[in-house]
Amino acid sequence: MGLMREEALEAAEAARRLIAGGAEPLASVVAAIRHRRPRVVVVCGRGSSDHAGLFLRYLVETRLGLIASLSAPSVHSSYRRALVMDDALFVVISQSGRSPDLVAAARAARDAGALTVAIVNAADSPASAACEYVVPILAGPERSVAATKSVVNSMIAGARLVAMIAEDVTLATAIETLPARLATAAALDWSAWTGDLVDASVAVLAARGPGLAIALELSLKLAETARLPAIAHSAAELRHGPRAMLGPHTPVLALRLSDATAESVDGLVADLRVQGVPLAVAGGTAGTLPWIGDGDAVADAIAMLVPGYLAIEQLARQRGCDPDRPPFLSKVTETL
């Protein structure tokens, strides 16, 4: 069994470990947030961690009513521009915690007066040292270069933080069910989607809300491990101008969550069926891929990662690629 596949299958156990042992660090962060009362949230990450940051941004804005922004690390590391952040919560997300630009951004945010939090897999990393508070995601070692279970746990940690701040019992309960749902999702076969991608020149993914973070993450994995150019769009945008690129040779995966974005995704699905675009749908009554049944939209979005990762790992091998050792990819992104 390949490393990427093995670690994607470990996601349920990693989630169980995080949920069982990760509440105390979050409680400290929540107490600090209630004391400092930040007015804006800034999230910083690269690659898969940036997608976990986008996921967190949606939750902060929809559940907490705070403005959230994704920070560009180059503002700190390349442009060396100091920002006014004395009323901000700055969250850096990183599996390794060793990317120089993320460490520089965290230090700059702390120096500028922000309340700083590191969501990391390596609790003793430079990014952790740069922040006041550390939230270990407890994913365990990842030997595959492409991150899987650490992305899942980064999103869970962010969702738990929001649930605790908002005192959202419904969200907290949904997160508690995730280990079981992830385990069930790992048995799903999404090859009906990736089968259309074996000889494709491009893949297109669509979603809205927190599902967009999942679409972006799966598109990155397609590019990294299967060497397949992939584009992720908001389902709302794909119903308009970008739809012009779609046709019989541009397979689309639509991720549909049972929340306020469902109607928009359903509308896109209906449009694309009329247009004759090859289409796979996860979630909802119009779904074409096996699914575990719609539940809480936030938890479902995270659960969609696992069958997506597993299908992409298989696709990479079908396309003659080694998903465990993709070229030009490193566990530590050495961007300055």
Q: What angle do CA 7, 211, 320 make, to 5 degrees?
A: 45
Establish if 96 belongs to a structural domain.
Answer: yes
Rounded distance, CA 187 to CA 310, Å? Answer: 9
Q: Give just the sign of the alpha carbon dihedral 125, 331, 228, 4.
A: negative
- The answer on 136 and 31 residing in a single domain is yes
Residue with tokens 């702390």: 110
- The answer on 204 and 104 residing in a single domain is no
In this structure, how many other beta carbons lie within 10 angstroms of the beta carbon of residue 150? 28
The burial class, CB within 10 Å (0-12 / 13-18 / 19+), for 110 is middle
Establish if 236 belongs to a structural domain.
Answer: yes
Establish if 323 belongs to a structural domain.
Answer: no
Rounded (10°) angle between helices 23-36 and 149-166: 50
Q: Quote the pLDDT of residue 12.
A: 98
Establish if 281 belongs to a structural domain.
Answer: yes
- The answer on 259 and 128 residing in a single domain is no
Establish if 11 belongs to a structural domain.
Answer: yes
DSSP character at residue 242: G
- The answer on 118 and 18 residing in a single domain is yes
Q: Quote the pLDDT of residue 65.
A: 97
Question: Domain boundary at 180, 200, 223, which?
Answer: 180
The neighbouring-strand residues paired with 120 are 94, 136
Q: Which long-range contacts (CB under 8 A, 24 or more apart) does 5-9 make?
A: 5/310, 5/313, 5/314, 5/323, 6/144, 7/142, 7/143, 7/144, 7/148, 7/149, 8/148, 8/149, 8/186, 8/306, 8/309, 8/310, 8/313, 9/186, 9/306, 9/310
Establish if 109 belongs to a structural domain.
Answer: yes
The neighbouring-strand residues paired with 88 are 40
Establish if 171 belongs to a structural domain.
Answer: yes
- The answer on 305 and 219 residing in a single domain is yes
Q: Quote the pLDDT of residue 163.
A: 97
Establish if 331 belongs to a structural domain.
Answer: no
Q: Quote the pLDDT of residue 332.
A: 54
Q: Quote the pLDDT of residue 333.
A: 56
Question: Domain boundary at 150, 180, 210, which?
Answer: 180
Q: Give the pairing type, strands 67-70 and 115-120.
A: unpaired
Residues 6+ apart with CB under 8 A from 160: 19, 22, 23, 26, 172, 175
- The answer on 224 and 115 residing in a single domain is no
- The answer on 136 and 213 residing in a single domain is no
The enclosing domain of 269 has a CATH number of 3.40.50.10490
- The answer on 266 and 124 residing in a single domain is no
Residue (of 220, 238, 208) closest to 326 by Cα position: 220
Q: Quote the pLDDT of residue 330.
A: 58
Q: What is the dihedral of CA 262, 267, 273, 275, to 10 degrees?
A: -140
Question: Domain boundary at 136, 155, 180, which?
Answer: 180
Output helix, strand, coil percentages for the chain, rounded to the nearest 5. 50, 15, 35
Structure tokens at 230: 């992939």
Q: Quote the pLDDT of residue 23.
A: 79
Q: Quote the pLDDT of residue 240.
A: 86
- The answer on 236 and 144 residing in a single domain is no
Distance of CA 228 to the CA centre of its chain: 19
DSSP character at residue 64: I
How many domains, the chain? 2
> pLDDT (tens digit, 0 to 9) for every residue of the chain, 336 residues total?
799 999 999 999 999 999 998 678 899 999 999 999 999 999 999 999 999 999 999 999 999 999 999 998 888 878 888 889 999 999 999 999 999 999 999 999 999 999 999 999 989 999 999 999 999 999 999 999 899 999 999 999 999 999 999 999 999 999 999 999 999 999 999 999 999 999 999 999 999 999 999 999 999 999 999 999 999 999 999 988 888 899 999 999 999 999 999 999 999 999 999 999 999 999 999 899 999 999 999 999 999 999 999 999 999 999 999 999 887 665 555 555
- The answer on 134 and 28 residing in a single domain is yes
What is the domain extent for residue 62? 3-180
Q: Compute the half-sphere exposure of residue 147: CA atoms within 13 Å on the CB side of its CA.
A: 28
Rounded distance, CA 49 to CA 32, Å? Answer: 23
Q: Quote the pLDDT of residue 81.
A: 85
- The answer on 125 and 65 residing in a single domain is yes
- The answer on 47 and 32 residing in a single domain is yes
Residues 6+ apart with CB under 8 A from 290: 188, 189, 190, 307
Q: Quote the pLDDT of residue 21.
A: 86
